[in-house]
Amino acid sequence: MECSKILLIIINIIFMIFGIACLAGGIVLKLGFDVIKEALVAKGSDIDFNLKYAGETLGIGMIAFGVFILLVSFLGCAGACCRVRCLLVVYAIIVMVILVAQIAVVVLAVIKGSEASDILDKGLKKALDGYHEDPKKKDPKDKSFDALFSTFSCCGVDNYTDFKSLNTSWDNRNPQKKIPVTCCKGVNYEDITNKTFVDHAQCLTTPTKGNAYIEGCYSSLVDEIKKYKGIAIGVGIVIFLVEMFVVFMACHLCRSIGEDSYKAA
């Protein structure tokens, strides 16, 4: 029984530290997201998913998640330390509910994955609609797309031809352009001058794979996420196994406490 007690306490202390980290991160994100939030504001009010309060929502979510982890971990620690059977039972039930919820989320993600993909694609296009290339008119959202184009070597959402149908405000230094100058290869999005437009005139009017980024940013972002898919799956499996283990330990400890009580009686 002592082994189960010690293991349960150690695991829950680790989770408490994780909960504190989430809580602290959420507070920082909630209080200091103003600058980033402006860069994510979507221009239209009919966007399928609203990016305007993404940072604040994430911050609140991290705070709530951190508090929840702290409370559950406290139940496990208190139940194991003080050998309180009812606390261990409540702890085991909560963790079991979390396990079932995780399985449901995974199943839902597999079933609804294509729908979420379509929503994200449409949302990015609507956010990009109304893009200003003129530096005098650029807002934080436009600057974010510039950084996205250069950093991920992409252009538009599906591909560079998206700008044919989008309501784009072009810089008058090259009115015949078909893509933003930040979609051209070798352009520093933080330092765009008159010379930049002259040097990349052919790219702007006749974009090709050799002089411009023609692939869409949606696929680039998906590819970037896929790089960490294996790590995410591995972490998920480890968490799932740990949760199963603590449920087993809590149940084993409960039974041991019950047997000790029966012997004492």
8 in the same domain as 108: yes
Task: Output the six-digit token pair for 216.
Answer: 């869409």
Residues 14 and 98 in one domain: yes
Structural domain contains residue 36: yes
Q: Is residue 58 part of a domain?
A: yes
Provide the token pair at 190.
Answer: 């933080």
The pair of structure tokens assigned to 176 is: 């015949």
Beta bridge partners of 215: 159
| Amino acid at site 43 | K
Only one residue has tokens 């940013």, namely 217
Taken in order 85, 86, 89, 94, the sign of the CA dihedral is negative
Other beta carbons within 10 Å of 160: 22
Q: How many separate domains does the chain show?
A: 2
pLDDT band at 20 (very low <50, low <70, confident <90, very high): very high
pLDDT digits (tens, 9 = 90+) for 61-109: 889 999 999 999 999 998 888 888 889 899 999 999 999 988 888 887 7
**pLDDT tens digit sequence for 40-73:** 444 444 443 444 455 667 778 889 999 999 999 9
Neighbours of 136 (CB within 10 A): 6
- Residue 211 pLDDT: 92
Q: Indicate the pLDDT class of residue 175, thresholds 50, 70 and 90.
A: low
- Rounded CA separation 15/23 (Å): 12
Range of the domain at 37: 2-126+228-264
Q: Domain check: are 111 and 233 in the same one?
A: yes
- Which tokens go with 92? 């085991």
The distance from CA 182 to its chain's CA centroid, rounded to whole angstroms, is 25
User: Which residues lie across from 184 on neighbouring strands?
Assistant: 212
111 and 239, same structural domain? yes
Query: Is 223 contained in some domain?
Result: no
Same domain, 202 and 234: no
In a shared domain, residues 159 and 29: no
Same-domain pairing of 75 and 55: yes
Alpha helices in 83-189 (DSSP H): 85-128, 140-151
pLDDT at 116: 65
